[in-house]
Amino acid sequence: MKSIQHIFKDIKLHRLFLDLSVLSAKISLAMIMATFRMIVPRSTKRLLGETVLITGAGHGIGRELAIQLSSMGCIIVCWDNDVDNNRSTIREVSKNGGEVYGFLVDVSKRLEVRETVRLMRKIGVPDVTILINNAAVLYHKPYLSFDPDDVEKTFNVNVLSNFWTIEAFLPLMLQKNSGHIVAISSMCGIYGVSQKVAYCSSKFAVRGLMEALHEEVRLDERKSNIHFTTIYPFYVDTGLAKDPKYRIVPESVMRLILDFLADVDRKRREKDVMNL
């Protein structure tokens, strides 16, 4: 007869086997769906007419998103603190016939964010329906060599800017019960990486912000059509990371983001129609 200890051990092994089986099934399903989406792309019409504001639109993922979302019929609002890079993105979008607005903004400063939003409304920029918080900075150095100013800037740009932009645009989304807030995070927001302590800490904070805010809004059934998405790309060749061995190009990340945005915002639009 088995002892109690052996019985519990068998139960734990059984549970582990079930967990691994479920994980394997999920991975298989994800691979099948990814393959299907590569062969049968989603309709780009689902994002037609959306007004998308992108922070850090002057380079990397932000630039690619601006260009591609414009080609899908979105109105683009480019925010960046680099005037030349932002103008370059705006020119590229305009060249393809897209409607685009550009603003020079330091998103780490709450007052600048608020003033820019007031300016947008004054000149008649359409209400933002999709907010993509993409702006970020990264300082790569050992922890004991960090510069306090770099740490402060990392949290101001990578974390606090999310608070300021969401504060600016969420109220109208709640009023209309329609909107989508997206945070471009990083795999560094899931696990720690050597010599990126401040960056990892900031990305963990973004994850907490988005998850907690989603829970807060979700509790109000009247606001069920507000969506929150956090995206965790691997090291992307945006000019921030210093390890080219593990970089993937922004275009690859962008395609996945666009696919997901199209799906989520199709569901949001369907709810908008149902609530008319």
- 160, 205 Cβ separation under 8 angstroms: no
In a domain, 17, yes or no: no
* Catalytic site positions: 199
Question: Does residue 210 have a pLDDT over 60?
Answer: yes
Integer distance in angstroms from the first to the last C-alpha of the chain? 67
In a domain, 37, yes or no: no
- Report DSSP state, residue 139: -
- Burial of 83 by CB count in 10 Å (0-12 exposed, 13-18 middle, 19+ buried)? exposed
How much is the pLDDT for 186? 87
- 241, 138 Cβ separation under 8 angstroms: yes
Range of the domain at 227: 51-263
Domain count, the chain: 1
* Residues 109-156: tens digit of each pLDDT: 999 999 999 999 999 999 999 999 999 999 999 999 999 999 999 999
Lowest model confidence (mean pLDDT) among 16-30, 158-172, 179-193: 16-30
Lookup result for tokens 């990392």: 154
The CA distances from residue 41 to 96, 221, 236, 255, 268, in Å, are 22, 32, 23, 10, 19
- Nearest 5°: CA angle at 162, between 271 and 147? 160
In a domain, 64, yes or no: yes
In a domain, 98, yes or no: yes
Give the pLDDT mean for 172-184.
94
Per-residue pLDDT band for 274 (boundaries 50, 70, 90) equals very low
Question: Does residue 91 have a pLDDT over 80?
Answer: yes
- pTM score, two decimals? 0.75
Lowest model confidence (mean pLDDT) among 66-75, 174-183, 251-260: 251-260
* Residues 26-36: tens digit of each pLDDT: 555 554 444 34
In a domain, 56, yes or no: yes
In a domain, 24, yes or no: no
Give the pLDDT mean for 186-193.
88
How much is the pLDDT for 34? 47
d(CA 220, CA 201): 30
How much is the pLDDT for 154? 97
Give the pLDDT mean for 255-271.
62
CATH of the domain at 118: 3.40.50.720
In a domain, 273, yes or no: no
- 264, 227 Cβ separation under 8 angstroms: yes
The CA distances from residue 217 to 121, 228, 267, 274, in Å, are 25, 10, 17, 20
In a domain, 92, yes or no: yes
Lookup result for tokens 């989304």: 173
